[in-house]
Amino acid sequence: MHNTPEKQPPKSSDTPPAEGGEAERRLNFVEEIVEGDLRSGKYAGRVHTRFPPEPNGYLHIGHAKSICLNFGLAQRYNGKCNLRFDDTNPSKEDVEYVDSIMDSVRWLGFDWEDRLYYASDYFQQLYDWAEQLIQAGKAYVCDLNGDQMREYRGTLTAPGKNSPYRDREVDENLDLFRRMRAGEFADGSRTLRAKIDMASPNLNMRDPVLYRILHATHHRTGDAWCIYPMYDFTHGQSDSIEQITHSICTLEFENHRPLYDWFLTELGIYRPQQIEFARLNLTYTLMSKRKLLELVEEERVSGWDDPRMPTLVGLRRRGYTPEAIRSFCERIGVAKFNSVIDVQVLENAIREDLNRRAPRVLAVLKPLKVVIDNYPADQVEEMDAVNNPEDPSAGTRKVPFTREVYIERDDFREDPPKEFFRLAPGREVRLRYAYLVTCTGVVKDEKTGEITELHCTYDPATRGGNTPDGRKVKGTIHWVSATKSLPAEVRVYDHLFTQPDPGDVPAGGDYRQNLNPTSLELLQECRVEPSLAGAAPESRYQFERQGYFCVDRVDSSPDRLVFNRTVSLKDTWAKIEKGQKGQKKDQKK
């Protein structure tokens, strides 16, 4: 028995600690309901949830919220969570989606053990239940077509009208329904409907369709069926069959609940408790599977796993970790009202995770060659570089320093503005982990005027970047050896949409007009330090001063290094600083 007073968070020892060692948080409202049921013994101490995707697209970050909630409850209360495919719509579903969904749930770190189910496994049972409703005079075959049915349904303010077929005899209904199943009728010519109440204020209760005729091949049942149950006639009964205790769904299903309850009552079967929560919305992000499919089909992105997509395969390819996504879901919590979460909350979650774990390396994205004139031409020095200042146990590595190095083009200005502390003619700057260098010359392309090379001298007394004489050097910049570094491609991503609410467009407009034309910047002449040779797909790094990057799991290979920028460094802080300091452009030192 549980003796914890009502309002206190649980201190039970089997509760896993929150991600990142955070203090125990307050219970969310779903956990409060579950704990109440555990106390009252409503389900004899059982907690059994399920995650029920429709295999008609790839999972996105919104699904992650539902996955973490459902599997998280099972973990927290020593219960079980099923994975169930709600596969009632053969025309939109595909095994490709089934496979990717399983893969993504596992990748997120959850396990359905031996409890993988498909609503299509219940087709026979659902059919039998439909006959049971017909026998009980609670369902009828209707010959209205789609347009007529809409017309008869009425509106939110006007009641509907009874279908002229509503009073068919049980025997006739049974005969017609069996012939529907036998394939005697054309698609759309007839439906099976529940006989409830055409005047109900809840439109879902106005004789909803239970079965439609659809001569389509199903990805699992093949051509065994030419009638398919509607989602509403499937979902609640599937939960019932699986003895789900808490059937958690998003808010828009609140007014379907009376219908699900009606089915369970009329059929006299086990009743789970449905609980609705608010779906996740994120700024600069679309979460509709239909629109995501359009982006893929119209090749506005490279695929479902394009690193700009909010899909779990996209986020994975972008460099997100499952830990960061779980910690994000934990942080946003679970509520009963709809809201929009700032996408920066997600970005901060991955920053925090990678800040702890990602090794630091030197990489130059837009290289500018620097010749250090007084450095011996054939000399190579191995400089000690810290792998992760957040994690001393990560140790140090050697980075080769040579007479010719590359620095970032942006780290040099011929005419530096006042607060620019990096390299400029006559200025001294620290090359991280190496030496202090002073710019002595600028070489330009005669025709274009573009800077092609810098000349510098170095101070041999400053090895490691130290200044034994104590002189102050404000700027520290990163670099790589021109001769010892490796070529790499880097893809720098920005939000896919330019507007916080991409779907908010004037009448006649379309979300596509908010696509960000510069959401992908391809940098093909980058140089990275030699320790990255053979870096494994999906390994993640902090490129010093630039952000977090991961090795692309699709395109990178031992002879072609390709990185995706996961997220920039401390974006929010830079912006806040920018706001405070007005026009000042130079944030990095």
SS3 letters for 111-180? CCCCCEEEHHHHHHHHHHHHHHHHHCCCEEEECCCHHHHHHHHCCCCCCCCCCCCCCCCHHHHHHHHHHH
- What distance in Å separates the CA atoms of residue 363 and residue 562, rounded to the nearest whole number? 12
Cβ atoms 401, 456 nearer than 8 A: no
- Which DSSP category does 10 fall into? P
CB of residue 232 to ligand ATP, shortest distance in Å:
12
Which of the following is catalytic: 115, 279, 300, 512? Answer: 279
Closest separation in Å from C-beta 69 to ligand ATP = 8
Helices (H) and strands (E) in the chain, counts: 13, 25
As given in the structure block, the two tokens for residue 584 are 């000042």
CA separation for the pair 400, 405 (Å, rounded): 10
Q: One of 19, 31, 54, 330 is an active-site residue; which one?
A: 54
Residue 461 CB, shortest distance to ligand ATP, in Å, is 59
Residue 249 or residue 488: which is nearer to ligand ATP going by CB?
249
Which residue, 52 or 307, is less far from ligand ATP as judged by CB? 52
Q: What mask of x and - would describe binding to ligand ATP in positions 452 to 491, judged by CB under 6 A?
A: ----------------------------------------
Q: Check if 54 is active-site.
A: yes
Choose which of 162, 250, 388, 498 interacts with ligand ATP (CB under 6 A).
250
End-to-end CA distance of the chain: 59
Annotation marks residue 279 as catalytic: yes
Phi/psi of residue 80, each to 5°? -135, 155
Residue 207: count other Cβ atoms within 10 Å of its Cβ. 23
Nearer to ligand ATP, 47 or 480 (CB): 47
Site for ligand ATP in 181-240 (CB under 6 A): none
User: Which CB atom, from 52 or from 319, has the smaller least distance to ligand ATP?
Assistant: 52
Within a 13 Å sphere around the CA of 157, how many CA atoms are in the beta-carbon half? 0
Q: Determine the size of the site formed for ligand ATP (CB under 6 A).
A: 13
Site string for ligand ATP, 55-94 (x = CB under 6 A): -------xx-xx----------------------------
Q: C-beta of 34: minimal distance to ligand ATP in Å?
A: 17
Query: Contact letters (x/-) for ligand ATP, 107-136, by CB under 6 A?
Result: ------------------------------
Q: Is the dihedral of CA 12, 69, 275, 207 positive or negative?
A: negative
- The enclosing H or E element of 346 equals helix 343-357
State the minimum distance, in angstroms, from the CB of residue 238 to ligand ATP: 12
- Interface with ligand ATP in residues 266-325 (CB under 6 A): 279-280, 287, 289
Closest CB 159 distance from ligand ATP, rounded Å: 28
Per-position x/- string for 14-53, each x denoting binding to ligand ATP as judged by CB under 6 A, each - no binding: --------------------------------------xx
Find the catalytic residue in 289, 430, 491, 540.
289
Scanning residues 424 to 443, which ones bind ligand ATP (CB under 6 A)? none
> What single string gives the DSSP state of each residue in 372-433?
ETTS-TT--EEEEEES-TT-GGG-EEEEEE-SEEEEEGGGB-SS--TT--SB-TT-EEEETT
CB nearer ligand ATP, residue 282 or residue 550? 282
Q: Which lies closer to ligand ATP via its Cβ, residue 54 or residue 552?
A: 54
Distance from the Cα of residue 341 to its chain's centroid: 13
Whole-number Cα distances in Å, 413 to 257, 409, 451: 65, 8, 10
In the DSSP assignment, the letter for residue 23 is P
Residues annotated catalytic, as ranges: 54, 279, 289
Note the residues at the interface with ligand ATP (CB under 6 A): 52-54, 62-63, 65-66, 249-250, 279-280, 287, 289
